[in-house]
Structures are given as C-alpha cells and as structure tokens.
Structure 1
C-alpha cells in the first residue's frame, strides 16, 4: 500500500542535514528521520548541503519523492536554511526552540500570514532537530520551495485561504493516492477499527488534508475519517457495517459532485461542477441571464460570488438546495447497492473555511461542530 513519503519528511530531512552541517557534522547523502510516537526510522535522501554568510547559515536541499504520479509535490525541490541564535539573557527560557519561517513558495494563511503547516509536520521537526540544537541557542529554520508559488496555482489552496505557495499539511509519514483503491481500503480498515471501540454510530467523512485540518480545528466531537475521493464506495461500506449516520463534511467545490451523481471525486476522473450548479440553478428558477453567466465561469467560488452580488438570498437558497441534493443523491446511491435507512448528512464550508450550509439532515448535526460561524 505504501507509495512513498509525505512532504513533511523531506522537509525534516533537508532541515536536519542543514542543522548538522551548521554544528560541524560531516555531510551524508541521507538522513534517518524519526517518526513521532513510533519506533521506526525512515531514510530520506539529501541532495546537498552547504555553509554561507561566513558559515553562520547552512542550506540543505532535498527533492520530495512521494511516489504518486498525480501528486503536485512529486520531485518538489526543497530548501531549508538553518541559523542559530543565542537565547537572550532577558529571556533565558526561549518558548520556541525552533522558529519556523515561511520562505518563498511556502503557503501562508491569508488572514494571519502564519505558515500553513500541520501539527504532524511540526512534531516531526521537533522530534528530529531538538537534540541537535546546542544548549543556549534556538534555531531559525526558513523553508523554501523554489517552484512552490507556481505549483500552488494548480491546487485549490486559495479556496482554503492559503496563499503564496504550497502548504505543508501531511498528517502521516506515508503517502497514498486519493484516487487509488489502496486509499479506499485504508479508509475501510480505519472504519472497521473505529467500530471495535466505543462507537456511537455516527462518523464524519472528510475529503483531503484541508477538510481534515478544518474538522480538527472545529473540535468536532465525533470520530473523523479522511476518505480521499472514494466517497461513494465508502458510504456504501458504512451502510453494510450498519453505521447509523455518516456526516459528509467538505468544501463546496468537492461535495457538489455528489449532487451530480459523481461519487469518485478526483478531478482527473470527472469534474462537471459548474454544469451541476447550472442545473440546480435552473431548478431553483434563477433568472436565465444569471444562469448564462454562471455557465461561463471556471470555479464554484466565482459562481458563489456572482450569485451573492446578484442577490444573497438567491445564493443561499441555491446552495441550500445543493446541500439537500447531496444528501438525497448520496442516499439513493447507497440504496442501489444495499437497502438501508442510514442517515447521510451534508455540512459544507466555503473558501474562507467558514461552515455555511447544511442539508436538512445536516442541520441536526451542526451542533457537533463547536467552533463554527454557521
């Protein structure tokens, strides 16, 4: 099932090589990276390291090898610049032993300018770098993706309020293709394990790292499983296993596909988002001139902004209809394969990562999302 290693490991490898060079260790063309809370070490290839600025800074370079053909970070060039700074006498206890700096091509949060990095990636850096930092110093670590800003244009980062480059949001060491059957089997296995514990019958399915990150930020008081793009087969599996309620939590640009009967949501297999919205707009009797304008747009977010400029109540009504259609089409899809009364709820967020809409069933479960602006 393992295809390669996630972006945080390659960042950690490059950073470890740079820091070791800075403190006088000899260069090796690989680093052994410790995985938090696990015994294993993973060998990460390092391209090169070097000193500069009168040997006060070190640059480490690696190339990410995720092993996934359709992964935007496959062969991504990674630079990490390490420098040490003495802990101030006025502040003998440095609260942050590692200062992670977003350099060129690394994604930042639009509202705060903070680096977009997952907890797993942070833990990985701390696990592998802390013991190398000399006593009395803290580490400045600048991460740079030379082609990150260019590559980010091919992602949905901006839809999640992430700008200026690629985010570092891997949540595990291994990488899996969201379009691969292996990824589906992994999600099924997680669901089976979940049901062996104190399972209350309700589970949240999220799509991708961004959805998972937001669900965790919302402190959802329910078990969460990242489903990748295999939504249809996984909700069928949930019905077979007698799950009582599946809550589909996701970005409107992904979940809309379910309203059109597309239950494998990878863009390389099917899109049709604008076409689905146009169909729903016709059903909602949106004025023809607005429907025509919608048909020429490229993204669902652009469509939402157009509708809100025209009439906010019309936009809300249409996206409420979208949410209800997701629930109904998903229920009908599952019942093609297994007769079930399992509830399927839809809760949808927008590009600002704000929860905006629910279906009729989803409205009963919004209270499980403690930190929201619904």
Structure 2
C-alpha cells in the first residue's frame, strides 16, 4: 500500500473506492439475490491487491428474471466527479455458454473510437473492473456462470460532460474505471489515465502531432495556432511529466506543450508537475533570467517583487524585453529531458491570459536537449 496522504494541515486524507469496485460489489449482491440467497446486509468484494472491503446497499430490487443492487460511491477525500454517485448493477441469466456479458445502462458510456482499452461498440467498462465484476459473480454462481451484467449510473451522462470522455469518443455517460479498486486522494490517477487514453486514441487515428495544454485558454490558442483536430488535443492540466513519460513509450512524431506564463515558468524551472501545491514559480530566478537578457536594474528588482508571474511578464514586455522565448527555451529543456526521444520533435508554446503567443521554442528532436540554446530564439512568423 502507498503511504498515507495528508493535507496541508497534516490531516490524514481518507481513501475511497473506484466505480469498478462499487460495480463489482453491487454485481455480487445482485447475483446473490438472483440465485435465491437474498440481498446481503453487507457485501464484500476482492480487490486486485487482495483486500476485501465491505459495502452496504443503497438499492435493492428483485423482479421477474432480474436482480438489481446499487452502492453509493465514496471517493474518500478525493475531489472525484463521481463521488456520491449511485452505481447500479442489474443481473439477468444469459444464454447458455455465453459466459459473463457486459452492457451499458443509463449513465454509462459506449466506446466509439479505437485506441482505448475497450474496443468500439463496447460499453465503457474497463478491463480491471470487468475482471473484478466477473470474479465477484463467479464467487457466487460458479466458474461456468452465464450472466448478463448491466452497469448504470443515474445522472452519469451529465457528470460525463465534466470529464474527458466526450473527447475520447466515449458517448452517453461515464466510464467504469479502476486498476487497484482504491481511490487515493489527490493522486489524480483518473485524470492522468485520461491523458494516456487521449494519446492512445490519437495514435489509433494515425495522428502525428498532439498538443498538451494546461487549460482551456491555451488549448483554444494552440488549436488555432496549428489548426489541430480535437482528438489531437490533450487536457494535460498540471501533469506535464505524466503526459511526456507516456509519450516516450508511445511516441508520435510531434508534441506541443502549451501553457500560460506561470505554469510554463515553473516548467522552465524544472517542475514537471506544475500544480500550485507542488510549489510556486521562483521570481528571483525569473529576475535573474531577465537580468541576463539585459533588463535594467529597476526592471530586475520589479520582477523580483512582482505579485504574479503574469505581472512580471507584463513588466518585461513594457521595457521591450523578450522574456517569453527565453523561458520557453528553458521549459523545452525540462520537457525534453522527460521525453528524450530522437523520434519525437518537441515544441513549447507560452500564451498569456488572452491567448496571445508570448513565447516559443520551436520543434526540435527531444534527444537534443543539450543543443538547444537557453537564450533568445526567433519566433516563427
């Protein structure tokens, strides 16, 4: 097990359960009812790591030829979009010899694009949750069980709009996810896995250029800058390193990393996770770069004491100092070290809050990290 996580006050953060775990536990409870054992007061399910948590049921329903059970998802202290959602498993006897078959009920999406762990035309129930659900059913009904399983999440279609599912080609609802069965607070594993799946989809569609962006403004700006299709856009958020390390093993020809001035300054200063909780940009270091570029002593001092990185960039611009390209070059060095592949050309784009390009390090093979100068580079026209 990973070490316990604590918040900024030192409080231990409570872990939770994935949608896959909830679906498996609900499926086991429904299978008990379907096979004449009744609904349990507490249902246990085995996780991939061998743990056996127990769950109480929020929904029990038995009808002609079916049994249905539901569990409220508890994501612990993680800000999971599905926290508090009802995960429902409905079981029916399937055709002889068919084994365990999976269906998407209301609120669970269908896969429509290649490149995901589940092929197009299948419900978006990932491989590990499928294994957990099947194991839970076989624990009750035996290895030769022929059962049809429908997973539904009421309200899931609306919740899915807050996720990356629409971009990944998962339509109509949420995905049933989980690799360990446990939600670790603020691990953001679901987000990182969505980035990886976005890369998989782009590669499956034959795209040779993807762009990771830290936010909506930069995503729109980089899409317009390169006229990229939606499937080439990766909502990497703060996880620059998580995206680049996956691309190192699953390469495309060209990668753009795009972000605002604050997050790209942190990347330039060596941070691959650019979330504010991982640390703030170093204004002293930014002032030193400005000084190297010829900034006056008053400007250098003003940058060092600026309220924000955006203000520091604005101060530099007011004196005609090109800080953006210098920071882009340094950000390129950090990103290239994580990517490190002669097969991948890397580009850095820095945009201001209005979506204006203020810094650029043009496409260069990412194994050339030591060859890219840290000084000014000409912007492309």
TM-score band, normalised by shorter chain: 0.5 to 0.7
Give yes or no for contact 1:60–1:81 (8 Å, CA) kept in 2. Answer: yes
* Cα gap change, 1:17 to 1:10, in 2 (>3 Å): same
Corresponding residue to 1:9 among 21, 35, 40: 21
Give yes or no for contact 1:247–1:346 (8 Å, CA) kept in 2. Answer: no
Give yes or no for contact 1:5–1:65 (8 Å, CA) kept in 2. Answer: yes
Confirm or deny that 1:74 pairs with 2:79: no
**Partner of 1:372 in structure 2?**
none
Secondary structure, counterpart of 1:247 in structure 2: helix
Deviation sequence 1:243-297 (CA, Å, 0-9, x none): xxx736499999646546476566999xxxxxxxxxxxxxxxxxxxxxxxxxxxx
In 2, distance between residues paired with 1:326 and 1:19?
Answer: 57
Give yes or no for contact 2:266–2:274 (8 Å, CA) kept in 1. Answer: no
**Partner of 2:313 in structure 1?**
none
Shift of 1:137: 4.9
RMSD, aligned α-carbons = 4.4
Q: Which runs of 5+ in 2 are unaligned?
A: 5-13, 114-119, 205-235, 279-326, 348-363, 369-381
Confirm or deny that 1:168 pairs with 2:162: no
Confirm or deny that 1:26 pairs with 2:38: yes
* Cα gap change, 1:268 to 1:57, in 2 (>3 Å): farther
In 1, distance between residues paired with 2:337 and 2:171?
Answer: 36
Confirm or deny that 1:210 pairs with 2:218: no
Q: Which runs of 5+ in 1 are unaligned?
A: 88-92, 188-205, 220-227, 236-245, 270-324, 334-341, 348-355, 365-374
Give yes or no for contact 1:169–1:209 (8 Å, CA) kept in 2. Answer: no
In 1, distance between residues paired with 2:367 and 2:169?
Answer: 25
Aligned length, in residue pairs:
245
Shift of 1:113: 3.0
State TM-score, norm by structure 2: 0.53
**Partner of 1:223 in structure 2?**
none
Q: Give the alignment of 1:269-288 within 5 angstroms.
A: none
Deviation sequence 1:108-155 (CA, Å, 0-9, x none): 212323212222111111221123236765100111111000111112
Q: Give the alignment of 1:185-200 within 5 angstroms.
A: none
In 2, distance between residues paired with 1:12 and 1:49?
Answer: 15
**Partner of 1:345 in structure 2?**
339
Shift of 1:78: 1.5
Shift of 1:12: 0.7
**Partner of 2:92 in structure 1?**
83
**Partner of 1:110 in structure 2?**
112
**Partner of 1:124 in structure 2?**
132
State TM-score, norm by structure 1: 0.54
Give yes or no for contact 2:70–2:87 (8 Å, CA) kept in 1. Answer: yes
Give yes or no for contact 1:68–1:74 (8 Å, CA) kept in 2. Answer: no
* Cα gap change, 1:44 to 1:231, in 2 (>3 Å): same
**Partner of 2:57 in structure 1?**
46
In 1, distance between residues paired with 2:329 and 2:124?
Answer: 32
Confirm or deny that 1:142 pairs with 2:150: yes
Give yes or no for contact 1:152–1:166 (8 Å, CA) kept in 2. Answer: yes
**Partner of 2:331 in structure 1?**
329
Shift of 1:169: 2.1
